[in-house]
């Protein structure tokens, strides 16, 4: 998606350790006009899928998912990061290793909001090694719901998440795929 690529190229900051900072428009301050265009594009890309719910993970996925949901006319459920001592039989849960914070979280979704009748679009801001998305897939499988697709704002193409999800047959659509980025020069190149 050219609009998003241009914005990343203009305002993205390449950090050491494979991290792309997009705090000025996506992860901290949020450009809602841009989110709206992204939502429209996700809708176009997944128009053939019978999606009745969007699932994301707190915190950065929530804004994108909510704006996208306006185009799908479906509710958004977000997986919550929980303390494991609070886990009980009322939730689906999985473990996710945070790429940016390097720690493992339990993530949970109440059994009230996910079930076998659901056809889910997973949405998130970034795809790196795929831990967050795999955690959400596990939760969906636990609920015996169907994964209709996975929509990502920014995929880092050299990390393994995207390749492995595509190889497993998931319909994965990333609005921008960063092919390479250099913390020394700040240069970011995209896969087209
Ligand atoms: P994964 O679980 O695929 O390894 O990483 C995805 C998650 O880590 C996303 O939910 C996102 O919050 C965070 N993340 C991964 N890479 C980056 C990055 O380069 N920049 C930012 N801002 N977040 C990232």
- 56's CB contacts (< 8 A; 6+ apart) are 62, 64, 65, 76, 77, 78, 79, 122, 123, 124, 136
Is the CB of residue 99 below 6 angstroms from any atom belonging to ligand 1?
yes
Residue 83 has pLDDT above 80, yes or no: no
Residue 85 has pLDDT above 80, yes or no: no
> Best substitution site from 126, 133, 166, 179 to test ligand 1's pocket, by max atoms within 8 Å of Cβ?
126
Report percent pLDDT > 90 for the chain: 91
Report percent pLDDT > 70 for the chain: 97
Cis peptide upstream of residue 59 (ω within 30 degrees of 0): yes
Contact 91, 110 (CB under 8 A): yes
Contact 20, 187 (CB under 8 A): no
Is the CB of residue 131 below 6 angstroms from any atom belonging to ligand 1?
yes
**Span 9-16, average pLDDT:** 96
d(CA 160, CA 124): 16
Rg of the chain, C-alpha, whole Å: 16
Name the one residue in this structure whose structure tokens are 């459920």: 77
Structure tokens given for 61: 């996925």
- Backbone angles phi and psi of 183, in degrees to 5: -65, -20
> Best substitution site from 107, 125, 159, 160 to test ligand 1's pocket, by max atoms within 8 Å of Cβ?
125
Amino acid 86: pLDDT: 64
Amino acid 99: pLDDT: 85
Question: By alpha-carbon position, which residue is closest to atom 10 of ligand 1?
Answer: 126
Q: What is the pLDDT of residues 13-53, one digit of tens each?
A: 999 999 999 999 999 999 999 999 999 999 999 999 999 99
d(CA 33, CA 51): 23
Up-side HSE of residue 44: CA atoms within 13 Å toward CB?
A: 9
**How far does residue 131's CA lie from ligand 1's centre (Å)?**
9
Structure tokens given for 98: 């945070």
Average per-residue pLDDT for the chain: 96
Residues recorded for the chain: 192
Q: What is the pLDDT of residues 126-183, one digit of tens each?
A: 999 999 999 999 999 999 999 999 999 999 999 999 999 999 999 999 999 999 999 9
Contact 177, 28 (CB under 8 A): no
Query: In sequence order, what DSSP letters do the residues of 98-159 get, joined into one string?
Result: -TTT--EEEEEEEGGG--TT-EEEEEEEEESSSHHHHHHHHHHHHTT-EEEEEEEEEEETTS
Amino acid 82: pLDDT: 87
Q: What is the pLDDT of residues 122-140, one digit of tens each?
A: 999 999 999 999 999 999 9
Is the CB of residue 130 below 6 angstroms from any atom belonging to ligand 1?
yes
């Amino acid at each position: 998606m050219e609009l998003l690529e241009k914005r990343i190229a203009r305002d993205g900051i390449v950090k050491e350790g494979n991290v792309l900072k997009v705090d000025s428009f996506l992860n901290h301050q949020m450009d809602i006009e841009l989110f709206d265009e992204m939502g429209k594009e996700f809708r176009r890309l997944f128009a053939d899928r019978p999606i009745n719910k969007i699932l994301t993970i707190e915190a950065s996925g929530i804004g994108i998912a909510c704006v996208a949901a306006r185009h799908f006319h479906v509710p958004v459920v977000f997986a919550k990061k929980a303390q494991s001592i609070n886990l009980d039989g009322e939730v689906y849960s999985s473990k996710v290793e945070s790429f940016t914070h390097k720690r493992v979280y339990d993530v949970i979704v109440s059994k009230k909001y996910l079930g076998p009748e659901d056809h889910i679009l997973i949405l998130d801001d970034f795809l790196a090694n795929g831990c967050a998305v795999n955690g959400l897939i596990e939760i969906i499988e636990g609920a015996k719901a169907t994964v209709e697709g996975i929509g990502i704002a920014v995929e880092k193409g050299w990390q393994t998440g995207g390749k492995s999800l595509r190889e497993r047959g998931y319909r994965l659509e990333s609005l921008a795929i960063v092919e390479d980025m250099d913390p020394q020069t700040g240069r970011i190149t995209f896969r087209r």
